[in-house]
Chains A and B, each alone.
Chain A
Amino acid sequence: MITFWFAVLVLAWVLYFVLEGFDFGVGILTFLGRDEHERGAALRTIGPFWDGNEVWLVAAVGVTFAAFPDWYAALMSALYLPMVAILLLLAIRGVALEFRGKHDTPSWRRRADLLLAVSSTGIVLLWGAVLGILVDGLALGADGEVTGTGLGRSLSPLLTPAAGLGALAALLGAVLLGATFLALRTTGPVRRRARDVARHTGTAGAVTLLLIGIGTGSRLTLAAAAVVFAAGLLARRTREGLSFAAVALSVAATVVAVFTAHGDVVLRSTLDPAWSLTRSGAAAGPEALRLITIAGVLILPGVLVYQAWSYWVFRRRVASERVAS
Chain B
Amino acid sequence: MDVLDLTRLQFAVVTIYHYLFVPVSISLASAAAGFQIAWIRTANEKYLHLTKFTGKLLIVTFAVGVVTGLVQEFQFGLGWSAFARFYGDVFGPTLAIEGMLAFFLEATFLALWYFGWDRLPRWLHTATIVVVAVGTLLSAYIILAANSFMQNPVAYALDPETGRAHLTSFTELLTNEVVLAAFPHTMGGAAMAGGGLLMAIGIWRVSADAAFRTLSRAGAWMMLLGGAVTAISGDHLGKVMTAVQPMKMAAAEALYETTTSAPFSVFAIGELGHDRPFFSIEIPGLLSFLGTGSFGGTVQGIDDLQALYTAQYGPGSYVPMIPVAFWTFRLMIGAGVLGMALAAYHLWSSWSFPRRVPLLPSFLQPGGGTPGWLRRFALLAPLLPAAANTFGWVFTETARQPWLAFGISKVADGISPGLTGAEVIASLAGFTLVYGLLAVAWCRLVVHLSRKPLTPAVEAADEPDPVPAY
Contacts and interface: CB of A to CB of B under 8 A. Distances in A.
Contact of B96 (A51, A292, A303): A292
Nearest to B428: A84
A77 B167 contact: no
B197 to A, nearest CB: 16
B360 interface: no
Given A72-B88, A288-B166, A318 B112 contact: no
B469 A44 contact: yes
A144 B162 CA distance: 14
Nearest to A100: B470
B167 A291 contact: yes
A262 to B, nearest CB: 21
Per DSSP, chain A at the interface is helix
B111 A65 contact: no
B454 to A, nearest CB: 15
Interface residues of A, number: 82
Interface stretch (A89-97, A164-172, A214-222, A263-271): A89-97
Contacts of B159: 285
B115 A314 contact: yes
Given A58-B70, A103-B445, A299 B85 contact: no
A43 B469 CA distance: 9
Contacts of A76: 74, 76-78, 81, 84
Contacts of B68: 91
Nearest to A318: B467
Given A55-B103, A74-B81, A288-B89, A325 B466 contact: yes
A180 B95 CA distance: 34
Interface string B414-451: 00111110110011001100110110011011001100
A59 B108 CA distance: 14
B16 interface: no
A179 interface: no
Nearest to B67: A91
A35 B63 CA distance: 25
Contact of B462 (A44, A104, A323): A104
B430 A84 contact: yes
Nearest to B461: A325
A100 B120 CA distance: 25
B88 A102 contact: no
Contacts of B448: 102-103
A81 B426 contact: yes
**Residue of B92, B110, B120, B437 most packed against chain A (CB within 10 A):** B92
B438 A95 contact: yes
A65 B77 contact: yes
A148 interface: yes
B447 to A, nearest CB: 10
B92 A94 contact: no
Contacts of A145: 81, 416-418
Interface string B198-211: 00000000000000
9 contacts: A70-B85, A70-B88, A74-B81, A90-B70, A91-B68, A284-B89, A295-B97, A314-B116, A325-B466
Contact of B430 (A85, A90, A95, A144): A85
B112 A65 contact: no
A58 B70 CA distance: 7
Contacts of A147: 418
B73 interface: yes
A95 B64 contact: yes
B110 A102 contact: no
